[in-house]
Amino acid sequence: EMQLVESGGGLVQPGGSLRLSCAASGFTVSSNYMSWVRQAPGKGLEWVSVIYTGGSTYYADSVKGRFTISRVNSKNTLYLQMNSLRAEDTAVYYCARARTTDLHDAFDIWGQGTMVTVSS
């Protein structure tokens, strides 16, 4: 069974850092386009970042320069390093796999989400 499991969320003070992990099973992270999507409490979905098979990365303007997406192939794990955190970054963070390596495809596998709360 193909599965994604996130971890690393928690409470952090404004200006702080956190690293989220997303462990994959049943498929290879490095052979897929992988994204992070977040959802603030009671709000809709917001795409955050993507990493392509070749290593290219893209970010939403709201996190550019503060967040870094990466992967460790030997661990089959995706990461999101979040620095200079703000209250508006408070959300459930999901990792998600694109259905194919077509540039325009949808997300077919999602993790269960990990909650990040930025507050003093």
Partner 1 sequence: DVQMTQSPSSVSASVGDRVTITCRASQGISSWLAWYQQKPGKAPKLLIYAASSLQSGVPSRFSGSGSGTDFTLTISSLQPEDFATYYCQQANSFPYTFGQGTKLEIK
Residue ranges that bind partner 1, judged by CB under 8 A = 35, 37, 44-47, 50, 58, 60-61, 94, 99, 103-108, 110-113
Please report, in angstroms and rounded to a whole number, the separation of the first and last CA atoms in the chain.
40
CB of 54 to partner 1, least distance (A): 16
Q: Count the helices and strands in the chain (H runs, E runs).
A: 0, 11
| Closest to partner 1 by CB, 109 or 118 | 109
CB of 70 to partner 1, least distance (A): 18
Query: Cα separation of 117 and 72, whole Å?
Result: 25
